[in-house]
Amino acid sequence: MELQLSMVVLEVADLEASVRFYQRLGLDIPDVEPGGRPVVAHRMGSGVTLLITTAFASVYDPTWSRPSGGGYSQMLEFYVGEDAVVDSRWAELLDAGYVGRMPPTQTAGPYAAIVEDPDGNVVLLTSDEAASPEA
């Protein structure tokens, strides 16, 4: 299976302000639902989804803090297949010396793990069928 970039996740301080910006930019992103989940998603024609949230990294990554010269505001999500593949990729990357931020975990959404690339960019590995290129 070819590895696919499936989603860009932006952890933001103000969901409504961020959604307004991306709507103004030209994306057909839905408005924030009052009292709804702290997330808005938009699947682009390329198949890549832009997900804007105030509560993913802040909830599931105990080391996360709002960026200030070293933190992160976004994650690159890669759909890797089944839960077992998330587990094995996590183990392989840690064995190779890469930094893990969240071990494989069943989140409120996908089964996922978080690792850093060599530059400190945060990568989310998931088995979320919604992120599959075939979905």
Q: What domains are defined for the chain?
A: 4-131 (3.10.180.10)
Q: Which two tokens stand for residue 101?
A: 């931020």
Provide the residue-wise pLDDT of the chain in tens; the chain has 135 residues.
788 889 988 888 889 998 998 998 788 998 998 888 899 999 988 889 999 998 888 889 999 887 776 677 778 888 888 999 999 999 999 999 998 999 999 998 899 999 988 878 889 999 987 766 676
Q: Average model confidence (pLDDT) for the chain?
A: 87
Q: How many whole angstroms separate alpha carbon 115 and alpha carbon 102?
A: 7
Give the HSE-up count for residue 108: Cα atoms under 13 Å, Cβ half-sphere: 10
DSSP secondary structure string for all residues of 83-110: HHHHHHHHHHHHHTTPPEEEEEEE-SSS
Task: Give the pLDDT score at 3.
Answer: 87
Contacts of 55 (CB under 8 A, 6+ apart): 38, 39
Task: Give the pLDDT score at 131.
Answer: 65
Find out whether 131 and 82 touch, Cβ atoms under 8 Å.
no
Task: Give the pLDDT score at 133.
Answer: 64
Side by side, the strands of the sheet bearing 100-106 are 39-43, 49-53, 4-11, 74-79, 122-126, 111-116, 100-106
- pTM confidence score: 0.67
Task: Give the pLDDT score at 60.
Answer: 92
Q: How many whole angstroms separate alpha carbon 104 and alpha carbon 112?
A: 5
Cα angle, residue 117 at apex, residues 63 and 76 outer, rounded to 5° = 80
Find out whether 73 and 12 touch, Cβ atoms under 8 Å.
yes
Task: Give the pLDDT score at 135.
Answer: 66
Task: Give the pLDDT score at 70.
Answer: 61
